[in-house]
Amino acid sequence: MNLKTLTTDDIRQLADSETIYMRGQQYFKSGAVNGIKWEDNKLSAKVFGAHDQYDVEIEEKGAKLICDCTCPYEGIHCKHTVAALLTFWKQKDQLQQRADKDKARQKSLKQLLLKLDKKDLAELLVSSTKKHKHWKSVLLQKIADQLSNIDIKEDLSGVYQEQYQTLTDRAFKIIHYHNEYGGGPESEYYQVDNLLNQTSQLFKTHRLSDEIKRQYVDKLFKYYDAGNSGMDDMLMKAIDQASETGNDWQYVVTKLKRKTKDGWDQSYRQQLITDIYKSKLKDDQAYLDIRMQNLKRSGDFYDLATYWQDKGNVEKALEIAKQGVKQCAQAGELLEFLFQHYQKSDYQSALSYLKQIFQERPRLENYHRLKKFTRPDDWPETDNKCRKILGKYQPYELAIIHKESQEYDKVLAYILTRSSDYSLYYGGEEKDKLAVELISRFPNELLPYFQSKVQKHLDFKDRSHYQQAAWYAEYVKEIYCQHLQQKDSWQSYINEVRSNHAKQPALLEEFMNFPAVS
Query: Considering the entire predicted model, what is its pTM?
Result: 0.68
> What pLDDT is stored for residue 153 in this prediction?
44
Portion of the chain with pLDDT greater than 90, in percent: 58
Domain boundaries, the chain: 8-114, 439-518
* Eight-state DSSP code of residue 270: H
335 neighbors 356 (Cβ within 8 angstroms): yes
CA distances from residue 434 to 18, 225, 446, 452 in whole angstroms, order as listed: 13, 49, 11, 16
Mean pLDDT of 38-44: 85
pLDDT value at position 125?
73
Closest to 57 (Cα-Cα) out of 42, 72, 47: 42
Other Cβ atoms within 10 Å of 500 Cβ, number: 12
List b or e across 176-192, with b for residues whose CB sees 16 or more CB atoms inside 10 angstroms: eebbeeeebebebbebb
Sorting pLDDT into bands at 50, 70 and 90, what band is 64? confident
Report which of residues 127 and 390 the model is more confident about: 390
Express each pLDDT in 150-176 by its tens digit.
Answer: 555 455 677 788 888 888 999 999 999
> How far is the C-alpha of 224 from the C-alpha of 222, rounded, in Å?
6
pLDDT at 260: 58
Asked if pLDDT for residue 343 goes beyond 80, the answer is yes
Q: Kindly list the strands in the beta sheet with 42-48, ordered across the sheet, starting from the edge strand earlier in the chain.
A: 33-39, 42-48, 53-61, 64-69
Question: pLDDT for 258-283, tens place per residue?
Answer: 875 555 578 889 899 999 999 999 99
Distance (Å, whole) CA 335 – CA 339: 6
Cβ contacts of residue 340 below 8 Å, gap of 6+? Answer: none
